[in-house]
Amino acid sequence: MNKIELLAPAGNLEKAKIAILYGADAVYIGGKQFSLRSRASNFSIDEIAELVKFANAHNSHVHVTVNMLPHESDLDGIEDYLKTLDLIGVHAIIVASPSIMMLAKKLGCKFEVHVSTQHSSTNSSAVRFWEEKGMDRVVLARECQMEDIRSICEENILPIEVFIHGGMCISFSGRCVLSNHMTLRDANRGGCAQSCRWKYHLMDGETELSDPTNLFSMSSKDLQAVDYIEDFIHMGVASLKIEGRMKSAYYLATVVSSYRMLIDYIYEHGHADEKIIERVKKEIAKAENRPTGPGFYNGLPGY
């Protein structure tokens, strides 16, 4: 059984190195072009090259997000960009646009092409479709439940990546136009204003229905999947993904090291006992600033 990958986010070079030093098997980053999370510092070509060298020295990988949903003008320069990433030696790109996926394969790039969670892949038929297109890994939709993931892994079609920690989109894997409507910032081209997290007054005409001291927000709890890591390992999931390219270095060090401790414990002892589970949850709580829950892993979320 191949050891499961712990994949961490990083918004700049310092955070990426910290994530690797604290136990990430791979980091995913965004370049200055073609990436969501445009408000993250993101990486120049020289910084990506430096990070690849650092990662190689620490037996880690670098995945680059090329995951915007481009309009016609957004594709200018994409071929040269992919060739440059390939020359640098990144391990994989994470892609939302089928045109960019197929271009990377047409160019003969050596890096893997991973299908972004934005495609909302929730079943084995979808994974098989991406296999037929020559893709190398599928990042499942965050709306998948445990039985969905187990069934997909049993088919053994392509390596599967699942989210284990961080923010959850209230829409289907980023297919939200609140930000576009309210701020003219396109969520699928890197400009999400996270309008779901704003505080709202609920009004019926001129009458306010909400409590002014406890305003309404549409955002969901963050994901925390400590209780499910052992299941993911035994299912044969390839990669466990932490969300949060905008998060601090302290957050990354705390969350990555906590999951690293749990994963290593499970491989050493064959299972996770209650003591290690509680220890890891306690450590992770030190970095949390929002309520957390199991997402869809227990079924449809409640309150």
Number of folded domains that form the chain = 1
Is residue 202 a part of any domain in this protein? no
**Residue 116 covered by a domain:** yes
Residue 101: CATH number of its domain: 3.20.20.60
Q: What's the CA gap between 144 and 228, in Å, rounded? A: 13
Please report whether residue 200 resides in a domain.
Answer: no
Give per-residue pLDDT as tens, 155-179.
999 999 999 999 887 777 667 788 8
Interhelix angle 124-132/146-155, rounded to 10 degrees, is 40
Supply the range of the domain harboring residue 23: 5-168+220-247
Rounded Cα distance, 125 and 264, in Å: 32
Instruction: Say if 241 falls within a structural domain.
Output: yes
- What is the predicted pLDDT for the residue at 245? 82
**pLDDT tens track, the chain, 303 positions:** 579 999 999 999 999 999 999 999 999 999 887 765 544 457 999 999 999 999 999 999 999 999 888 888 878 899 999 999 999 999 999 999 999 999 999 999 999 999 999 889 999 999 999 999 999 999 999 999 999 999 999 999 999 999 999 988 777 766 778 888 888 877 666 567 788 888 898 889 989 888 888 888 888 889 999 999 999 999 999 999 999 888 899 999 999 999 999 999 999 999 999 999 999 999 999 998 888 999 999 988 765
- Residue 242, Cβ density class (10 Å: 0-12 exposed, 13-18 middle, ≥19 buried): buried
Alpha helices in 64-175 (DSSP H): 78-88, 98-106, 124-132, 146-155
Looking at residue 40, what is its pLDDT?
47
